[in-house]
Amino acid sequence: MENKKFIEVKDLQKTYDNGHQAIKSVSFSVNKGDLVCLLGPSGCGKTTTLNMIAGLLAPTGGDILVEGKSMIHVEPKDRNIGYVFQNYALYPHMTVLQNVMFPLTVGKGKKSKNEAKKIAKRYMQLTHIEELADQKPGKLSGGQQQRVAIARALVQEPKILLMDEPLSNLDARLRLKIREEIRALVKEVGITTLFVTHDQEEALSIGDRIILFNEGTVQQNDTGDNLYLEPVNQFAANFIGNPVIDNFKVKVENDYVVGKGFKFAITDLKNERFKKTLQEGQTYTLSVRPENLLPLMTEVKIENDDHYLEADIEDIELIGRERVLKFTNDGNSERSLINLEHQVKRGDHLTFSFKLKRVYIFDDNGERVY
Ligand SMILES: Nc1ncnc2c1ncn2[C@@H]1O[C@H](COP(=O)(O)OP(=O)(O)O)[C@@H](O)[C@H]1O
Ligand SMILES: [Mg+2]
């Protein structure tokens, strides 16, 4: 049992009745007690995947195992899974207490009224909604409704908690607060959790691991650090990070990587970081995060292998502690992220240094080469 994965999703597939292939082939596993984020753009198949794990939707291929046992033919109510739906789905005619107790008052594992109340109150305490016990959901704020939905999902003490974009209906500041609360809560309860979001920052901040989806496939299944620092392909590089990563068109010519206004020798790159070899005459995308492409006016530590690029600043955006400088290179818009204390004006002509040890190179299929 020790080294067995708690949840194992194997070659999972879903083609809807209209012929749409929402999940092409998805495989991943989740360790017991982990909070794993399913991250990806709208329509990539996150909800479809959760619904198959919960048993609300039948897969058209593959398998889902929990503690080594296939769930495919197990009824949803026997899967022991708590589900917080995107729209909360609270019962409007019941009070908060009745909503939270509800799962304990129906079905096989039905509890006595007193017992159900006691358990419900414990989870209402954990989610900070005790004082709302007698209110109807219609009177509650989004954040309060969210907490009721979480408490209701937890009362049966499920093995697995599924949460589908639980924060998407909340305003920005509340989102930050509740995501911290959710992480603390699921860690305290010790429940294995799959948390769906389309927000990369949310995923980076709460996930023990992140499974990045696109078009019904897994792009990268990794820690947040690795997704940010070592994206396996162009999609992952572009999806993670704010401001978004900078992409430059380059071509390999006479053993140099040549972009518009800059070039460097292939021998300047580190051998051990190559995944594939660069092909003479081929075009590639050179990518670097905006914090690794800094104007020389900042106290950038110049390193031997840094390379330079000149540009006119077209726009400047203030994002709190930092400024985003925007410019164009070869028709692509690029960004540099500098400290607030540095003053830059629109129209300034700056020299940027990019850190070769922090660049990525992707081929025209989006596969990582370097
Ligand atoms: N019942 C359905 N019939 C046909 N296509 C569907 C159905 N439900 C979802 N889809 C499609 O499947 C894809 C994945 O949907 P979904 O899992 O809801 O994505 P996500 O949750 O990542 O936004 C989307 O293209 C969506 O339009
Ligand atoms: Mg969805």
pLDDT in tens, 104-158: 998 777 899 999 999 999 999 999 999 999 999 999 998 899 999 999 999 989 9
* Mean pLDDT within 157-171: 92
What are the Cα distances from residue 188, in Å, to 33, 165, 191, 197, 366?
10, 21, 8, 21, 40
Are 18 and 149 contained in the same domain? yes
pLDDT tens per residue, range 168-196: 888 888 899 999 999 999 999 999 999 99
Atom of ligand 1 nearest to the CA of 165: 21
DSSP notation for 95-115? -HHHHHHGGGSSSTT---HHH
Evaluate whether 9 touches 29 at the Cβ level (below 8 Å). Answer: yes
pLDDT at 1: 47
16 lines ligand 1 (CB under 6 A): yes
Distance, in Å, from the CA atom of 151 to the CA atom of 157, rounded to the nearest integer, reads 10
User: CATH code at 351?
Assistant: 2.40.50.140
* Neighbour-count burial of 281, counting CB atoms closer than 10 A to its CB (0-12 exposed, 13-18 middle, 19+ buried): exposed
Does residue 109 sit in the same domain as residue 60?
yes
Domain that holds residue 292: 246-362
CA of 36 to the centre of ligand 1 (A): 21
Alpha helices, H only, the chain: 46-54, 96-101, 113-126, 142-154, 172-189, 200-206, 224-229, 234-239
The mean of the pLDDT values for the chain is 94
CATH of the domain at 228: 3.40.50.300
- Express each pLDDT in 6-59 by its tens digit: 999 999 999 999 999 999 999 999 999 999 999 999 999 999 999 999 999 999
Q: Is the CB of 41 under 6 A from ligand 1?
A: no
Give the integer Cα–Cα distance in Å for 206 and 15: 31
For residue 186, report the distance from its CA to the centre of ligand 2, in Å.
21
One domain, residues 144 and 278: no
305 domain-assigned: yes
Let me know whether 86 and 134 are in one domain. Answer: yes
Q: Which of 217, 239, 261 is the last residue of a domain?
A: 239
The reply to whether 63 and 202 lie within a common domain is yes
Protein residue with its CA nearest to atom 2 in ligand 1: 16
Mean pLDDT of 293-317: 83
Number of domains, the chain: 2
Contact criterion met (CB below 8 Å) for 37 and 209: yes
**What is the reported pLDDT for 300?**
66
Position 222 scores a pLDDT of: 98
Ligand 1: atom nearest CA of 196 is 21
pLDDT at residue 309 greater than cutoff 70: yes
In a domain, 179, yes or no: yes
Task: State the pairing for strand pair 61-66/192-197.
Answer: unpaired
d(CA 253, CA 265): 10
Q: Is 250 in the pocket of ligand 1 (CB under 6 A)?
A: no
100 and 38 within one domain:
yes
Q: How far apart are CA 244 and CA 235, in angstroms?
A: 11
pLDDT per residue over 331-365, tens digit each?
999 999 999 989 999 999 999 998 888 999 999 99
**Does 299 have pLDDT greater than 70?**
no
| Bridge partners of residue 213, in order along the sequence | 218
Q: What is the pLDDT of residue 188?
A: 93
Instruction: List pLDDT tens digits, range 217-265.
Output: 999 999 999 999 999 999 999 999 999 999 999 999 999 999 999 999 9
The secondary structure of 183-216 as a DSSP string is HHHHHHHT-EEEEEES-HHHHHHH-SEEEEEETT
pTM above 0.85, yes or no: yes
Say yes or no: 229 and 250 in one domain. Answer: no
- Could you tell me if 52 and 12 are in contact, meaning their C-beta atoms sit under 8 angstroms apart? yes
